[in-house]
Amino acid sequence: MKNFWLKFTNVGVNFILAIMLVGLTCIVMIQPSISVSSGNLNSVYYNGNIESKKITLMFNVYWGNEYIDGILNEFKERNLQTTFFIGGIWAEKFPEELQKIVNDGHEIGNHGYSHKEHSKLNYEGNQEEILRTHKIVKSQIGLDMTLFAPPSGDFNDVTVQTAGNLGYKTIMWTRDTIDWRDQDSEVIYSRAIKNAKGGDLVLMHPTKATLSALPKILDCFAENDLEVCTVTENIGV
């Protein structure tokens, strides 16, 4: 009899432990997380559709306007569109250039207002940077942006959550030309085209060396049947 109750007790304990384990697993599975290219607002995109031939040269615009026209002309000559992530301060200073980008059919994304390190901001700070730029751009060109590129690629869970709550997807990059630092058109060209493949998001900036490298980059992509497109077209949402 004693052995019976001992076995019964062991079975009961094991059953309870099994139920607790299943419950814990379910809780973990439903916790929100940052994913890559999952299509949710709270996702971080490092690439688009890797099974496609689409590739994106995306420009973070935060200073100067000297090379915007030249970059736009290179895309216009080939009837191509891409995505420009606009800083709020830049939009305030160069509204005519922003309108030119829109008029040429390019996609506009949000690059924050004052180029802060978003991982060091609380929810309200992230919201202020994103929303302030949103309102400036909306007032100038009448468009609601839905893509957010964190300045310097600096973000954390709070940044992504804030962006998602504001209707934004967080966009990073597959490859970085580092053209803001290395003003060498051949280096920029090499970084942009090396092992280039479908789904790549290539980060660039409107610099003199980038403009110089751009024709060769676009020609190389065309020769390899890579279709230059916007970020939204690339990620497929």
Contact call for residues 163 and 126 (beta carbons, < 8 A): yes
DSSP, collapsed to helix, strand or coil, labels residue 83 as: strand
The confidence score (pLDDT) of residue 202 equals 98
Q: Are residues 92 and 5 in the same domain?
A: no
Question: Positive or negative CA dihedral for 227, 233, 234, 236?
Answer: negative
Q: Are residues 173 and 185 in the same domain?
A: yes
pLDDT above 70 coverage of the chain, percent: 82
Q: Are residues 123 and 171 in the same domain?
A: yes
Q: Are residues 45 and 2 in the same domain?
A: no
Residues 6+ apart with CB under 8 A from 213: 179, 185, 186, 188, 189, 192
Q: Are residues 112 and 81 in the same domain?
A: yes
Say which CATH number the domain at 93 has: 3.20.20.370
Q: Are residues 156 and 124 in the same domain?
A: yes
Q: Are residues 123 and 223 in the same domain?
A: yes
Q: Which of 237, 233, 231 is nearest to 109 (CA)?
A: 231
The confidence score (pLDDT) of residue 43 equals 85
Q: Are residues 14 and 121 in the same domain?
A: no
DSSP, collapsed to helix, strand or coil, labels residue 220 as: helix
The domain of 2 spans 1-31
Q: Are residues 27 and 98 in the same domain?
A: no
In the chain, how many domains are there?
Answer: 2
Q: Are residues 16 and 90 in the same domain?
A: no
Whether the pLDDT of residue 93 is over 60: the answer is yes
Q: Are residues 89 and 13 in the same domain?
A: no
- pLDDT band of 45, cuts 50, 70, 90: very high
Over residues 129-171, the pLDDT tens digits come to 999 999 999 999 999 999 999 999 999 999 999 999 999 999 9
- pLDDT band of 4, cuts 50, 70, 90: very low
Give the residue-averaged pLDDT of 39-66: 90
Give the residue-averaged pLDDT of 35-54: 77
Which comes out higher in pLDDT, residue 183 or 41? 183
Predicted structure pTM score: 0.83
> What gap in Å lies between CA 103 and CA 76, rounded to an integer?
11
Over residues 95-136, the pLDDT tens digits come to 999 999 999 999 999 999 999 999 999 999 999 999 999 999
Q: Are residues 39 and 1 in the same domain?
A: no
